[in-house]
Structure 1
Amino acid sequence: MIDNQLGIRKPRGLTAALSILTTYTPGGGRVPYEDEVGSDGLLRYKFQGNPQHYTNAGLRAAFREGVPLIWFFGIQQGVYLPFFPVWIVGVEAEQSQVAVALDEAQRSLPIGGVSSEIERRYSLGITRRRLHQPVFRQRVIQAYESACAMCRLRHRSLLDAAHIIPDRDTRGVPAIANGVSLCKIHHAAYDENILGIRPDYVVEVRADILREIDGPMLKHGLQELHHHALALPRRRADQPDPVLLEERYDRFRTAS
């Protein structure tokens, strides 16, 4: 299903390509898809070397025939998140690339700079939901070894990748250093500024929450996290960016 060397899998006997691959980039490197979204909201995938190579011919054939492919995104060395179906909806020969739709709805949108602002935002929203968010979640949770950085909960289905700078912000890129693995309760508390994370990776609880008297969830789940050290990824490059944490912490202090 995957061609690790060429990135494009075009089996013998098939006219069109079967799958495309984006390799894992360790923390500190450029996120592979970060600069590959066009102004129309569609993702771009580069040709492999010579545009006339049989793998690239397989991409052009997939476009002509309108057949779906699988897109494998690396979330760890040797671990991939598959997206299926995706479609080649345009060949941009001058840029040695193809335009890729992640959703049926994107297949009918104009390609290039002719789409309206509404269509562009709609397409970007699809790309964010279908690709950026799932890949971001998997990469962040992998970096934190499938545990909440605050309470150490290890039930993966109950974990989220919390953005430090929200993804609605232009600087809220889906990079591991802009994320923290949190359980759903602590993610919600972080988003609501009930909890804050200082640039030195220490958790703070909002003053009014510390004064509240309630049941064991408040006491053990929130209040006892005050001045608690965040559990960090082993790789320094995967740890939260202190500059981003400081900006988010300022918002928490304002809310307090």
Structure 2
Amino acid sequence: MAPTQEEQQNEAGRHQEVGHKSLLQSDALYQYILETSVYPKEPEPMKELRELTARHPWNIMTTSADEGQFLNMILKLINAKNTMEIGVYTGYSLLATALALPEDGKILAMDINRENYELGLPVIQKAGVAHKIDFKEGPALPVLDQMIESGTYHGTFDFIFVDADKDNYLNYHERLIELVKVGGLIGYDNTLWNGSVVAPPDAPLRKYVRFYRDYVLELNRALASDRRVEICQLPVGDGITLCRRIS
């Protein structure tokens, strides 16, 4: 039986939910995943920050709820303790990380906008994990260069998550591969980029999607041929590629 007009409107409405970057063709299936797998055990601080972020005008920048759950699980599986995040926004993925780390775990978090981070900071503080976070405002590349130059951070990070300026992903990668330990993981977000990676050249795309698409395609090609890592690209959220350093 064909869906009613009301059902079609509800389906379209779900697509506007904050963090709805799912690549699934069916919004109903995505909603099923959220309601049966993500929301029932979502920590209260994660729910609070997710709902707070939903009211922000740039909420499309946030990590999706299912991806937040995925990151939290991965960090626990690899027993991560020393991590880094490039691109913080209001801190949803940062909170997912902080909740997964042990009490003495640490996150070096970098973003060019402290104001957005401070929107979510009260929730992070209330969750009791703010002491794990070292936030630095400003571009990440100079900080990474300083860390490499110092020689004391090579191979010290268990996990690094990148959700920032796509045109610099390859620049980040060449530095982060030095900083993550052998056997450690780097996660690059948005590597399927709204599905545009397989869109024909004349496809109607939003301006920002079209602008960054070539950078995402270049990154994907580079990671696939990089012998220093083994990779796994997953259709979680807007696509995430995990890179495990092997040499």
Q: TM-score, normalised by structure 1?
A: 0.23
**Which protein has the larger Cα radius of gyration, Structure 1 or Structure 2?**
1
Report the TM-score, using the length of structure 2 for normalisation: 0.23
**Larger helix fraction of residues:** 2
